[in-house]
């Protein structure tokens, strides 16, 4: 597949051929050759000025984010605004990458200090920002996962690119069920919806539309809006589940208090389950981190039939269960 830069250069080449042909035909006529030449030169200059920067960003990025609204309509948006938007993009992409990497292996992901997503470019057209996971330095320099190398990097890179398709499934009042066919793993799908919510505009900072694209897709895709943010908030607060129930025991990791999510790892026969907890359980959430618990509720399995996402109804520290079992065993032996 041709790169975006190659496609843009081909358009320029076509215009140059057209200009040469037009000038040749116009020779000996009453046409103003300088004016005719200037018309083509202006078109070519516009392509290099406005389209080539976007093409370079598209080619060099795993994720391209376009911000639109009054705050960026000016050709020179404030440094504070650009810095804030890129800071939020870094923050929430890192959260997504850590969540997805944690779901792929039964170990705790770690993003080393001093390692950031790389800003691959900026382009005019509202505000267009490209970011890239640096494959040249290897997975160990981005996410340390005790020897889990290229396959995980590729999966995370793919998931970042899948984020670009999420806005097209955000309808006026709900999430389109077709997203289940696009992202079959319910835990990954949930992590993507949370990321999309975090990146959707509130409308309060002069940003009204946010859209995502990548090297493989159209740079002018469906956008997230303040209304999209409301729909996504409702979807992550009240997710729909299949009617499967169960309980799982594991160690709580990676709590997200804002999204009310955590992961339990080391689940026998399952490894990692992404969990959603409610307001009733939120008060004690910080106490669960790094502790073994039993979670009970409805869950959704992935294509392989392994539980991946749970709506938690009850959380019980494993220590309490052990204490109850010890008491029961003692009473039984006494009798």
**One domain for residues 50 and 68:** no
Tokens of 114: 């001093």
**One domain for residues 73 and 115:** yes
Res 65: pLDDT: 87
Last residue of a domain, one of 237, 256, 287: 237
Q: How many residues does the chain have?
A: 335
The CB density around residue 184, as the number of other CB atoms within 10 Å, is 13
**One domain for residues 114 and 28:** no
Last residue of a domain, one of 17, 34, 59: 59
Higher-confidence residue of 313 and 103: namely 313
d(CA 313, CA 288): 15
Last residue of a domain, one of 237, 257, 292: 237
pTM of the model: 0.77
Please compute the mean of the pLDDT values over residues 232-240 and round it to a whole number: 89
**One domain for residues 225 and 261:** no
Q: How many domains does the chain have?
A: 3
**One domain for residues 108 and 171:** yes
Tokens 């899948």 label which residue? Answer: 162
pLDDT digits (tens, 9 = 90+) for 108-134: 555 444 335 556 556 665 788 887 766
d(CA 195, CA 200): 9
Long-range pairs for 3-10 at CB < 8 Å and ≥24 separation?
Answer: 3/55, 3/59, 3/215, 4/54, 4/55, 4/56, 4/58, 4/59, 4/215, 5/52, 5/55, 5/56, 5/59, 7/55, 8/47, 8/51, 8/52, 8/55
DSSP 8-state symbol, 49 = I
pLDDT at 170 over 90: yes
**One domain for residues 190 and 297:** no
Res 303: pLDDT: 86
d(CA 156, CA 140): 13
**One domain for residues 201 and 68:** yes
**One domain for residues 120 and 258:** no
d(CA 119, CA 69): 21
DSSP 8-state symbol, 47 = I
Least confidently predicted of 189-198, 271-280, 301-310, 312-321? 312-321
Q: How far is CA 309 from CA 54, 58, 170, 185, in A?
A: 38, 33, 20, 9
Please compute the mean of the pLDDT values over residues 63-87 and round it to a whole number: 82
Strand 307-317 versus strand 261-267 pairing type: unpaired
Residue 195 domain flag: yes
d(CA 13, CA 10): 5
Burial class (CB in 10 A: 0-12, 13-18, 19+), 255: middle
Q: Are 321 and 294 in contact (CB under 8 A)?
A: yes
**One domain for residues 90 and 230:** yes
Domain that holds residue 94: 63-237
d(CA 56, CA 6): 10
pLDDT band at residue 222 using 50, 70 and 90 as cut-offs:
confident
Please compute the mean of the pLDDT values over residues 171-192 and round it to a whole number: 90
d(CA 259, CA 263): 12
> Mean pLDDT for the chain?
79
Residue 329 domain flag: no
Res 4: pLDDT: 86
């Amino acid at each position: 597949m041709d790169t975006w830069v190659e496609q843009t250069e081909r358009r320029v080449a076509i215009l140059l051929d057209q200009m040469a042909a037009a000038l040749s035909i116009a020779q000996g006529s009453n046409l103003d050759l300088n004016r005719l030449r200037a018309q083509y030169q202006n078109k070519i200059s516009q392509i290099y000025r406005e389209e080539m920067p976007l093409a370079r960003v598209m080619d060099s990025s795993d994720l391209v984010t376009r911000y639109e609204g009054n705050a960026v309509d000016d050709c020179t948006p404030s440094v504070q605004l650009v810095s804030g938007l890129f800071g939020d993009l870094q923050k929430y992409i890192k959260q997504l990458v850590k969540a997805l990497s944690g779901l792929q292996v039964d170990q705790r992901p770690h993003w080393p200090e001093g390692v950031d997503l790389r800003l691959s470019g900026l382009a005019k057209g509202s505000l267009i920002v490209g970011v890239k996971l640096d494959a040249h330095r290897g997975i160990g320099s981005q996410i340390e996962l005790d020897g889990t190398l290229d396959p995980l990097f590729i999966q995370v890179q793919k998931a970042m690119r899948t984020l670009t398709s999420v806005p097209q499934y955000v309808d006026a009042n709900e999430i389109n069920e077709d997203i289940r066919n696009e992202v079959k793993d319910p835990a990954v799908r949930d992590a993507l919806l949370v990321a999309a919510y975090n990146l959707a505009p509130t409308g309060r900072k002069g940003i009204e539309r946010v859209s995502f694209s990548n090297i493989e897709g159209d740079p002018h895709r469906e956008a997230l809006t303040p209304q999209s943010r409301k729909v996504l908030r409702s979807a992550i607060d009240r997710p729909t589940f299949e009617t499967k129930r169960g309980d799982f025991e594991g160690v709580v990791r990676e709590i997200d208090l804002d999204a009310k999510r955590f992961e339990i790892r080391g689940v026998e026969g399952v490894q990692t389950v992404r969990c959603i907890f409610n307001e009733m359980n939120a008060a004690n959430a910080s106490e669960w981190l790094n502790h073994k618990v039993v979670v009970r509720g409805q869950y959704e399995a992935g294509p392989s039939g392994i539980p991946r996402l749970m709506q938690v109804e009850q959380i019980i520290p494993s220590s309490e269960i052990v204490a109850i079992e010890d008491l029961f065993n003692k009473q039984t032996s006494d009798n």
